[in-house]
Amino acid sequence: NNTFSTLFVGQNLIKLKEVDSTNNYLKNLASNSEPLPEGTVIMADNQFAGRGQQESVWQTEAGKNISTSIYLKPSFLAIKKQFYLNIAVSLAVADALSYFLPLAVAVKWPNDIYYNRKKLGGILIENSLTGTTIKSAVIGIGLNINQQVFKSDLAEKATSVFQILHKELDLELVMEKIFVYIEKYYLNLKSEKYSILHSNYLKKLLYFDLEANYIHNGQVFEGKIKGVEESGYLIMEVDNQIKNFNFKEIEYIHTN
């Protein structure tokens, strides 16, 4: 069996053949068996009701990809700084994948993982709050690793490591890299390296400071991402004006 070269992430490991959603499983576990050790990881070969951001569905091919959830207790993090947890995890996943891939891995705001303008995976963080800080966080990560083909509706937008490298990777090796980087960036977060995290995030942000097409309320417009606020709002330049967008307000238009 495996032991990851980490301090705590993945040291308490629960492997499942199949589950509705690793995030659901971990949330139930945390509420039924407190205290759950920080760094507890659920990994599943298959999810039959995987969840994505904004109530979307996350589909994955059984046995081929990464579906994992990590339990963290960032009680040091003020609620108003919670977007930094998204930043830390996005950077960790991007760095871990960069280790295996020839070109840069990008983060599409707020926390999709992109390669060559196609989605490699996503992150779903679910926080449980107490007063002014975060009591615990379930970090769900779904990545297309060894999947070779996508259903026609996804084929244009999604990619996998296999499609890039034309070979399969050992899923646990990739997870180990992810866990190592999560620890690294989590430590940055703990030691309040906010400006470093923020500037690294902007460096990896897809279309940062580049003209691209977006949709807002059904309207297509051209804009340039200029930054991201501490709240996570996107700062864009549109027609020489600065505008802010909340998470659900804006969508990228897929260009290829």
Tell me whether strands 112-115 and 133-143 are parallel, antiparallel or unpaired.
unpaired
Quote the CA–CA distance of 98 and 153 in Å, as a whole number. Answer: 26
Residues 6+ apart with CB under 8 A from 204: 90, 91, 94, 104, 105, 106, 107
Of 133 and 181, which has the nearer Cβ to ligand BTN?
181
- Cα–Cα nearest to 243, from 219, 5, 122, 31: 219
Q: Which is nearer to ligand BTN, 17 or 166 (CB)?
A: 17
Q: How far apart are the first and last CA of the chain?
A: 43
Enumerate binding residues for ligand BTN (CB under 6 A). Answer: 21-23, 47, 50-53, 56, 58, 67-69, 112, 122-124, 140-142
- Is the Cβ of residue 73 or residue 119 nearer to ligand BTN in the bound state? 119
Residue placing its CB nearer to ligand BTN in the complex, 67 or 200: 67
CB of 28 to ligand BTN, least distance (A): 12
Kindly state the smallest distance separating residue 196's Cβ from ligand BTN, in Å: 25
Between 43 and 180, name the residue whose CB sits nearer to ligand BTN: 43
Nearest to 72 by CA among 36, 97, 28: 36
Between 42 and 134, CB nearer to ligand BTN: 42
CB of 240 to ligand BTN, least distance (A): 32
- Closest C-alpha among 78, 103, 86 to residue 232: 86
163, 171 in Cβ contact below 8 A?
no
The minimum distance between CB 123 and ligand BTN, in angstroms, equals 6
State the nearest-atom distance from the C-beta of 65 to ligand BTN, in Å: 8
What is the Cα–Cα distance from 51 to 256, expressed in whole angstroms?
A: 26
Amino acid at 208: F
Residue nearest to ligand BTN (CB): 122
User: What is the Cα Rg of the chain in Å?
Assistant: 18
Structure tokens at 237: 């330049």
Shortest Cβ distance from residue 132 to ligand BTN (Å)? Answer: 27
